[in-house]
Amino acid sequence: MVTGGKTTLQEYVEAEWQNKSQIQGLNAVILAIAEGSRQVQQQVQQAALADALGTTGETNVQGEIVQRLDEASSSIFVETLSTSGHVAAIGCEEIEDPVIVDGETGGGFIVLMDPLDGSSNIDVAVSIGSIFGIWKKAPGETVNDDSLLKKGNEQVAAAYVVYGSSTVLVLATQDAVCGFTLDAQSGIYYETHPNILIPDACPYYSTNEGNSKGLDEPTKKAIALLRDKYSQRYVGSLVADFHRNLLKGGIFAYPADLNRRDGRLRLMYEANPLGFVAEQAGGAASTGYERILDVLPKELHQRTPLILGNKDVVESTVSVISGD
Ligand code: AHG
Ligand code: MN
Ligand code: MN
């Protein structure tokens, strides 16, 4: 594979954080996510051949049927993160309670993750992903369940991986948002999308139009305005819809409706990490009534409405929804 002297993810994170004492070890956490995603990508590619598609027959804490790849990816990332030497605790969509790796000396970081996003698309070979929010534990903090309920604005980094026509890991730090593409043969991620900023143009809106009948009147009006102005693109995998909108411009909206009064998506490991990425790339993320990153979490798996993407369009959509 000719990589043309591109920077590897390892070179990037070591240059970014190696000498920043207050976040020492964050590079090891990102490399643990990268290694886990390399293993997940292999499983995703081989699942049908290895009879690893389909469900486990179990229902998770969300009340959703667990796909075998949901469980496999959860185990892979728990393993790579727990053995990184820098993760004190993990919150995971597929695991009801927090995984306390080592509350005392297990390292300085707390990771909240959606190990496999877009489960309904696994069996039909449509793009899926993994999402990670990373917080730093307070100095001297003994990590317990409540330690995972930090506001999104306290994240030190966030990342997602999209397993699509290529496998791309997007990493947002306090300084920049960068994309890295996996060379599956070598297992190495190379920087392919330096300094990502959401384009000012907004060609697309992403929402599940099938929910429109259950929306309240202001939200119905907000979605109608998007429908009148933009082209609809909806994959049904949040990561894939968000990644397209991040690179090409666009807005994603999963508002509350009559059947989902708190929305469908999860605050801690979908909205917060992607909200962090969006804001670092010049975009915005809102519940429709407040900034996602300001929401005070009450429980690990709580849901939230999510309006995410191009800043101007998010702000105008929110003003219609909230009536401000
Ligand atoms: P997950 O597979 O982690 O449960 O997430 C699925 C989510 C998200 O990826 C996507 O945007 C949304 O579900 C789609 O929901 P609908 O099928 O209701 O549109
Ligand atoms: Mn998800
Ligand atoms: Mn998931």
Q: Do 14 and 118 belong to one domain?
A: yes
Q: Which residues fall within 8 angstroms of residue 78, CB to CB, at 6 or more apart?
A: 90, 92, 95, 99
Q: Do 177 and 229 belong to one domain?
A: no
Q: What is 62-81 written as a DSSP string?
A: TS-EEEHHHHHHHHHHHHHH
Q: Give residue 42's pLDDT.
A: 94
- Taking the C-alpha atoms of residue 33 and residue 56, their distance in angstroms, rounded to an integer, is 24
Model confidence band, residue 16 (pLDDT cutoffs 50, 70, 90): confident
Q: Give residue 2's pLDDT.
A: 66
Model confidence band, residue 103 (pLDDT cutoffs 50, 70, 90): low
Among 232, 245, 313, 297, which residue's Cα sits nearest to residue 274?
Answer: 245
Q: Give residue 62's pLDDT.
A: 80
Q: Do 316 and 247 belong to one domain?
A: yes
Q: Do 187 and 237 belong to one domain?
A: no
Distance 243 CA to ligand 1 centre (A): 14
Residue 46 is part of a domain; what is its CATH number? Answer: 3.30.540.10
Supply the residue whose CA is at minimum distance from atom 14 of ligand 1. 236
Does ligand 1 come within 6 angstroms of the Cβ of 119?
A: yes
130, 160, 193 — which closes off a domain?
193
Three-class DSSP category at 218 = helix
Q: Give residue 291's pLDDT.
A: 98
Give the domain extent around 227.
Answer: 204-322
Tokens of 184: 């599956």
Higher pLDDT, 293 or 108: 293
Reported as a single tens digit per residue, the pLDDT across 248-260 is 999 999 999 999 9
Does ligand 1 come within 6 angstroms of the Cβ of 133?
A: no
Reported as a single tens digit per residue, the pLDDT across 141-161 is 888 899 999 999 999 999 999
Q: Position 10: which residue type?
A: Q
Domain presence at residue 24: yes
Mean pLDDT of 16-40: 89
Q: Which of 70, 205, 254, when mutated, tests ligand 1's pocket best, judged by the most ligand atoms within 8 Å of its CB?
A: 254
Reported as a single tens digit per residue, the pLDDT across 202-230 is 999 999 999 999 999 999 999 999 999 99
Q: Do 113 and 173 belong to one domain?
A: yes
Average pLDDT, the chain: 94
Residue 234 is part of a domain; what is its CATH number? Answer: 3.40.190.80
Distance 152 CA to ligand 1 centre (A): 20
**pTM as predicted:** 0.96
Mean pLDDT of 264-279: 98
Tally the domains of the chain. Answer: 2
The helix-helix angle for 26-46 and 9-17 (nearest 10°) equals 160
Say how many C-beta atoms besides its own lie within 10 A of residue 227's C-beta: 14
- Sign of the C-alpha dihedral computed for residues 195, 197, 203 and 204 taken in this order: positive
Mean pLDDT of 297-310: 98
C-alpha triplet 41, 23, 298: angle, nearest 5° = 75
Q: Minimum-distance ligand to the CA of 73?
A: 3
- pLDDT above 70 as % of the chain: 98
Q: Give residue 1's pLDDT.
A: 63
Does ligand 1 come within 6 angstroms of the Cβ of 118?
A: yes
174, 193, 212 — which closes off a domain?
193
172, 193, 214 — which closes off a domain?
193
Q: Give residue 317's pLDDT.
A: 98
Q: Give residue 61's pLDDT.
A: 82
Reported as a single tens digit per residue, the pLDDT across 49-87 is 777 777 888 888 888 887 889 999 999 999 999 999 999
